[in-house]
Each structure stands twice: as C-alpha cells, then as structure tokens.
Amino acid sequence: MRIIYNTCTDAPFNLAAEDWLLHNSDADVFMLWRNASAVVVGRNQNTYSEINADYVRENHIPVVRRLTGGGAVFHDLGNINFTFISLNNQAGLLDFRRFAGPIIEALNSLGVPCKFNGRNDMVVGESKISGNAQHSHRDRLLHHGTLLYSANLDSVSSALRPSPAKYTDKSVKSVRGRVRNIVDFLPQPMPIEAFIDYLMRFVASDQPGGSTCLRPDEITAIDALAEERYRSWYWNFGYSPNYAFERSAKTPGGVLEVHMDVREGIIVDIRLFGDYFGVRDVVELEDMLCGCRHERSALERRLALVHIEAYIQGVGERIFLDCLF
C-alpha cells in the first residue's frame, strides 16, 4: 500500500487527486489531506439546495462536487480527510466498515471511544465525528471520510444552512445531525499535526516503507484534472439534478415572487410575480434571464446593462440578484 501525506489544502486539487489516483494508481493507497475552508457536496446533490449561498459568497468559500455520493460537508483546516483506494474490489460491493476499521482502531488507541454507527458514520456516544462515502470504478474502490478534529463548527452550520423551501428537486438531501470535534474526547490533547502523524504511523505500521508525497508528474496530471473538472462551474453546479426554485421576498418595491425552472444549471423558465410597479413589461426581463446560468456572476453579466427598476420599481440589481438565490 502506498502511504501519502498530501499537504496541499486546495479543495479542487485534492478531490482531483483522489479521482486521478483511483483511475491511475498501480498500488492500493492510503492518503491523508486537509482542505482550507470549502463546501464539498455529494455527487448526486443539488448544490444550491445544500449551501447558504450568501454566506459562501461573502466569505469566498469554494464549493466543489466530489466523486462519491452522500451529503454536503464543510471542510476547514481543523478537519482531516482520509482516503483509501483499493485496486481489488471484484465483488463490486460498498463496504464501509472494512475501511473505517483502521481509523476507529487508531482513535480507540488514543482513548477516544469511537464506533461505527448506521450506514456510514463514526460516532462517540451520540455525536458524529466522521462521515464516510464510497465510489467504485470497475474493480477499484475509493473510500474516504472526514475526521472532525478541531473544526469550526459554527462555520459548518452557517455554510450548510440553506432555506429548504426554495428548491424542489429529486436530489439527495443532506441529513443534519449533532457533530463534535475529536479533540473534545482526547484524554490527552495533542496538536492536529501530531494527530495526523500518529494516524499516518498507525495505519502504516504493517506496511513496508514510509509515507510518500505525490510525484511531480502526478501533480501535473492532477492539476490538469482539477482545472478541467473540479474548478469548473458545470461540474460543481451545472451537474446538479434539474430543479425548481421558488422564493417570495419583501423588497422596497413590494413583494416579489420568483418561480424558476433550471435544467443542467441553466434557467429555462422564470416568472416574476408580485404587487410591485414598473414602467416596462416584466416579460422582457424574464426573457433576458432565460438561457443564463443560475450563477450570480453569470446573471450579473447578463443584467449589466439592464435597468432593473424600469421593470420592478424600487429594486436595484443587488436586491434583485439576492432574490434569485
């Protein structure tokens, strides 16, 4: 097994690294890595229905879709991610306990009474400290999980707190639960770097050789994949299942109701109802928005030369854009 400590903290790169290693590694892999602040959504989720779009935008938090299913999670440098890649999964089965086992053993050895619970979680008592997910590719299997070590739990709740009434779709919804940090359960607190080192050595104890880094040629290939997929709007947002968006907002011009249908991230129909006034027919504005990405920057460009108040008196571009998310 190849043991890798990936020190990069860029979420698109790190998710691309998993993807590339799954498809190209010539040995089983165990990898530890961390992301700077980022929201990571499951493969089958509607991105906008999982995130607090205003909080994410205002705090410049990247949103990235991963290969595996499951729910949305917030990553920061207090969260440690672990990845197992197995080249021999001929049965084609998802087996969470097999890969969670070494992590649970390591935590138990430190005095943390962790156990596997339900479908894909690790818990201490009633508190979740780790979520796990898997993806298979032919005979290969990717298993990864989070380890909440000293994460900012306020940011976790803020970034993943959308308004559930806005979006109607058939995507997989995240299940919010009580979460705690591992550091709260350690009999002897230790810096996160020491914990990472301990975990690496524990998992590698029966493996020949020490940990390695990604090679320069691998980094080049992973960078290319990150640019092509994990930094692309289409993968992170447009790949979302089709959805309907509805919002009612009180504006300086009156109540504005937005009803929107989105297909592959593109607005295909939008209706703007309300008790507002305007000197121009709002149908013109609706027609301008159809065919645009449901993405704030794309809508800003589309509306750059449009005088919104001509259609909805008292409502400027910023307020109008806020109503579309």
**Is a pLDDT exceeding 70 seen at residue 209?**
no
Q: Return the closest-CA partner of residue 137 out of 107, 92, 72.
A: 92
Fill in the DSSP letter of residue 96.
H
Domain residues of the chain, as ranges?
2-237, 243-323
CA distances from 134 to 94, 162, 177 (A): 7, 25, 20
Domain at 2-237: CATH architecture: 2-Layer Sandwich (3.30)
- Taken as a whole, the chain contains a residue count of 325
Two structure tokens written together for 295: 């993405």
- According to the model, what pLDDT value does residue 92 have? 57
Domains 2-237 and 243-323 share a fold: no
Mean pLDDT of 95-121: 92
pLDDT band of residue 38 (cuts 50, 70, 90) is very high
**Is a pLDDT exceeding 70 seen at residue 14?**
yes
Overall pTM surpassing 0.85 (yes/no):
no
- According to the model, what pLDDT value does residue 12 have? 99
Mean pLDDT of 41-47: 89
CB 34 within 8 A of CB 80: yes
Query: H/E element holding 80?
Result: strand 79-86
Burial code (b: 16+ CB inside 10 Å, e: under 16) for 170-180 equals: ebbbbeeeebb
- pLDDT tens string 126-159: 999 999 999 988 889 999 999 999 999 999 889 9
- pLDDT tens string 241-261: 889 999 999 999 889 999 999
Mean pLDDT of 276-296: 94
CB 118 within 8 A of CB 74: no
**Is a pLDDT exceeding 70 seen at residue 21?**
yes
Report the alpha-carbon angle 306-307-313, nearest 5: 140
Please state, in angstroms and rounded to a whole number, the distance separating the CA atoms of residues 83 and 56: 26
Please state, in angstroms and rounded to a whole number, the distance separating the CA atoms of residues 38 and 12: 9
Q: Return the closest-CA partner of residue 24 out of 216, 221, 209.
A: 221
As separate numbers, helices (DSSP H) first and strands (DSSP E) second, the chain gives 11, 14
Q: Which CATH class is domain 243-323?
A: alpha beta
